[in-house]
Structure 1
Amino acid sequence: VVFAVTGSSAAYLSKPILAWFGVSKAEVSGWVYYPLYILLIFPVYQILLVSIGFLFGQFTFFWAFEKKMLRAIGLGFLWRRK
């Protein structure tokens, strides 16, 4: 349930965030808008995953999942391994 809610929320919230930065489909080409939209979904998803996991009482699980996922894409330097 957490993954479904997070994915839908990340996709939904990315459009207003792009609009806040002044990027809209009317102002930029679709070739620019959609890659930016997809790239923005990733960090929004990461933040929401831990937040929504916390609301469901599973912060520890989703924090560990988050660190594992970020390590897999090469951002493991953000956390030291114990």
Structure 2
Amino acid sequence: MTATATTGGQQLGSARPHMTLADRVEVLTLVDRATPADQALLSSLVAAGDPDMTTSYRKVAGALGLDVPADDNDLRDILEADVQQVHHHWHRQ
């Protein structure tokens, strides 16, 4: 399997392993487990970039004991704010 070149860089395409919803939730939960309570979850970057990932994000947040709004539009607003917070935090690092 080979990576596909795009104008923005490399894209994994078919080289990316298939992950089930449970796999995605497990990986994202492990990544975000170390996220301090006063910071946005890194998985917000994934969920904001792919609307199909909102279910995974909801499950990750739930596994970490966090509440998320039931309304998808409200969640989208939160994800956008969280992405800005993540970018701001890591830009300063």
TM-score in same-fold range (> 0.5): no
**Structure number having the greater helix percentage:** 1
Higher relative contact order (CA 8 A, sep 6+): 1
TM-score, normalised to structure 1's length?
Answer: 0.35
**Greater strand content:** 2
Taking structure 2 as the reference length, what is the TM-score of the superposition? 0.31
